Amino acid sequence: MNSSIARQPAPYLVSLATAVPGFGLPQDEVARRAGELFAPMVADFQRLTPIYRNAEIEHRHSCVPIDWYSQKHTFGDRNALFLDNATTLLAEAATRALDAAGLQADEIDMVITICSSGIATPSLDARLIGRLGLRPDVQRLPVFGLGCAGGVLGLSRAAALAKAQPEAHVLLLAVELCGLTFRAQDRSKSNIVATALFGDGAAAAVVSCRSLYAGRPRLGAAAEHTWPDSLGVMGWDVTDDGLKVVFSGNIPDLVRHDLRPVIDRFFVTHGIAAEEIDGYLCHPGGAKVLDALEDCFGLEPGAMRHARAVLREHGNMSSVTVLFVLAAAMADGLHGRQLLTALGPGFTAALQVIDLP
């Protein structure tokens, strides 16, 4: 290992907390409502109905009641709901993370905010300064557009900032209200599939290199890889009434055929032997993606139990989801060297090693 790398301060995950909004979306009820909405205007809707069962999702959370989804809404209406609910959810998650770390809000030196499902100017972190009691001189970094990769990349950015200022406390915030992007009049397959997948949630983490946190989970090597000519694989199209979901049906194939070489190069670059990795904690973009990830890593079907549990109970919450997976694994007492992975717009793979004590 390069001696200069070995001398760098170690960033620790001091705490991690999650939050979900109050409205529940049972999958059976979503499927019934979707049938009422789409069957009259989508000729082959019955052919698509197995997506609700095959998604392997039982329940999700939403910041709005289910009746909201059958109505038309302007972009402005959606974004007003986003600002109100995203701020509230982030405040809840951040308070829990600070309490778990034994910190007061004025001890936070930097804030990174990850989100791709709404627009906020002033940014969400600015809206939280007074609400949480952050210092007026807190350094802020709002990040938009990383999509599902944002949770892993957010941790990596927090670790990098912590290493740059080893005495600092970095607060990572992630929130996604994917449900607010649903457009009732959109008959596209992507929009219909989204009704079977997306949920709302938030997460917060404190990262620091202070030596007193030795013994907490340690954030190690990190990387990302963006494939050429892949902009159309995943993302949003901006329309007059909101954000229109874009995702390719061949994402599982991309995982099976193209991700492993990226992982192998990452291991070689950072001097990691594959057998040193004790487990894989991945963003559960969907059941088929998890199947492909298990194939990619040579795991038995169903081995990614924490990711599957989060998908089953919360659905796909974009950037937030992998942080829920990490929180579930930590609560379950998982230990050893884990590789966090997520795939997002770009099309980009995000990788982060974490050593769980």
Helices (H), the chain: 3-6, 27-38, 45-48, 50-54, 75-101, 124-132, 150-164, 189-195, 251-254, 260-269, 287-296, 305-314, 321-331
Asked if 148 is an active-site residue, the reply is yes
Q: Residue 339 and residue 355: Cα distance in Å, rounded?
A: 9
Mark residue 307 as left, alpha or beta (left: phi above 0; alpha: psi -120 to 50; beta: remaining): alpha
SS3 235: strand
**Residue 242 CA neighbour count, 13 Å, CB half:** 25
Torsion of CA 18, 21, 23, 25, to 10 degrees: -50
Structure tokens at 151: 């949770």
Which one of 115, 148, 209, 282 is the catalytic residue? 148
List the beta bridge partners of residue 18. 203
Angle between helices 321-331 and 150-164 (to 10 degrees): 70
The catalytic site residues sit at 148
